[in-house]
Amino acid sequence: MSERTPLLFILLVVALGAGVFFLREPVLKPYQQMAVDLAAAQQKAAELTQQIRERGRDGRQTARLEAEYGPPMSAPDRAARATDFYRWIEALAHGCGLTVASTQLRPEQIDTDGVVKLPVQVSLDGDLRGVVAFLAQVRGSTSLIGAERLVLRRQDKADKPINAQMVVVAYALVDRQTRDELTREREAKASKRSS
């Protein structure tokens, strides 16, 4: 070893450091880009895996709901079902000896599971037996129909001493397109709130 060996060694290290520093961009850039692309691909794979899990859950849930509520209905199908439901209520009331004082279709309500409520506000006049028979037939008809907010009032009419006001509700499933639209609306509202 001579006196110049440590100096040459330091010069070698500096030269290597400078070479790596100046050559890092052209030499390492493809590897850096691959690392960025790999991270993006891993993120996308995680998102797709989550979507697959959600759709699998959604598929099982949809099958369960379809078994309970019947096949999904599009907006025109729901409108037709609401009209049929309205007529069914009137026929049922007349069959129970009740007079329909008024009926009013209420706006449909769709929950997060895709179950739609088709409510009808009904006011019926008659005797207590007729009201009980009406409610029993609504209850016994199917699990897809129910009565809510029942109010009974005494009237001064001898032949129709009771006025019954209630909301009769039919339940159905919305179609996939409607559920997707509702999901997009909820996500848009959530993103607005978080912003």
| 112 vs 97, higher pLDDT | 97
Q: What is the pTM of this model?
A: 0.57
Return the number of other C-beta atoms located less than 10 Å from residue 133's C-beta. 18
Instruction: Go through 120-131 and write b for each residue having 16 or more CB atoms within 10 A of its CB, e for each that does not.
Output: bebbbbbeeebb
Contact status, residue 56 vs residue 96, Cβ threshold 8 Å: no
Q: How far is Cα 111 from Cα 108, in angstroms, rounded to an integer?
A: 10
pLDDT averaged over every residue in the chain: 78
Helices and strands (DSSP H and E) totals, the chain:
4, 5
- pLDDT of 54 strictly over 70: no
Q: How far is Cα 29 from Cα 81, in angstroms, rounded to an integer?
A: 63
pLDDT digits (tens, 9 = 90+) for 147-185: 888 888 888 877 778 888 988 888 877 777 777 787 788
Q: How far is Cα 166 from Cα 163, in angstroms, rounded to an integer?
A: 10
